[in-house]
Structure 1
Amino acid sequence: MPQYLFNPPPVAALPIRGESTLFPVNRLFFVGRNYHAHAVEMGKPVDKSVERPFYFTKSISTLTPSGATVAYPPETGNYHYEMELVVAIGRAGFRVKAEDAHELVYGYAAGLDMTRRDLQLVARDKGRPWDLGKDIEQGSVCSEIVPMPGRVIDSGALELRVNGAEKQRSDVNKLIWDIREIIQDLSLFYHLQAGDLIYTGTPEGVGPVVAGDVLEGSVEGVGGVSLTIAPAA
């Protein structure tokens, strides 16, 4: 057995609905600006006829299960929620054709891409990486995985409430790049692997949270995700 200088981190994993086994998570991919209304909201409209999807990643250590209570993060005064449908990849694929994309789908989850919006916008406007704005400890929240092998979700209501008040409401059918297109394009850059999660983008209505807020989101046919914001540590 190998000897390590210190104990390596445990395997990141999420529960699977109806199963006693866990879904081991490999990588976290995020699609940027994938709803037209949100792209306009952020001041960066998208023209699909001349653009292609873009992505960012987060450290696997940011993965946080639904229902957690997390501290308001440091070095920000504008911490935002972004409600998203998450695709769970169940088999390897590289340079996947759109018509074959369903073969990589294991299932789906509901997720929150938490964002230091002030730091993200500074980085964006100065042409710098988004890491400090996006790669936040406990900032990638995800529900249990719902097995739907081979199924492509192309519609379904998506919403988020903060302290019971509706903040985001849209439908998966408003994705600029749908799930087949995302898997096809992302697999040109990466050898997708079982355990990869793809957060597919957020609709309009993103906004700030403060300590004490309770976030509750849902995706029709998939389930819900929740998060409580605690005071800064």
Structure 2
Amino acid sequence: MGFSPDFVTEHRRVLPGNDFITWLTDRAARATPLYALSKSSEAAAMTVFFRLASASWVLVAAWILFVILAYLLVGSRRIPFGASYVKNISGVPVLDTRFAFRADQGAAALQALGEVGRRHHAYFQIADLGFVLVYVVALPGALFALFGNAIPAMVPVLGALADLVEDFGILLALHKFPAPARSALAAAGAAGVVKHICFWPSLIAVVAGVGFVLIRRFFHA
């Protein structure tokens, strides 16, 4: 289902500010395959989850944890389960931070990590499971609060599911090393692509949406 520029222009005159953004988001969402999914009984349960996740106290707690865990996992070189720590001691970045990798590339990276690097890589993947549980609340809750629509909120949920597949695939490959685990690494590499495609646009949408709300309130104060 599409809509013409004239149709949009006409509604822009009628609907002010956030009402127009909500309307435009809803119209765009109806054109996506996720729209049919959003009308299912499963989606009704997801909507209840999104409403709970968008509660103010839940959002504040989730985003505080999000920032702390993101720093510990990526920013700190002294935390033994951090990606920077693994790269610092082995010279090899963790597989989780790569946009995509093939099974042979993943196997070569695990070999290059060395024994200590692989052990701390496993620590990172376990800690990342906790991060997934945090952002599957923080991102959907923020998107639902901003747009009032379940469709945008479903995107980071899909990314979180892919992230779990990636985490368990890498953990399985680390557990089986030095035995080859090409199927696990191939699944992890493919899931990682889906994760990045869903996670980063969702995060950008939240930052941009919050920025828009703050700017609008500043100029209408």
TM-score range, shorter chain: under 0.3
Q: TM-score, normalised by structure 1?
A: 0.22
Structure 1 or 2: more strand by fraction: 1
Give the structure, 1 or 2, with the largest relative contact order (CA under 8 Å, sep 6 or more): 1
Q: Structure 2 length normalisation: TM-score? A: 0.22
Instruction: Find the structure with the greater CA-based Rg.
Output: 2
More helix per residue: 1 or 2?
Answer: 2
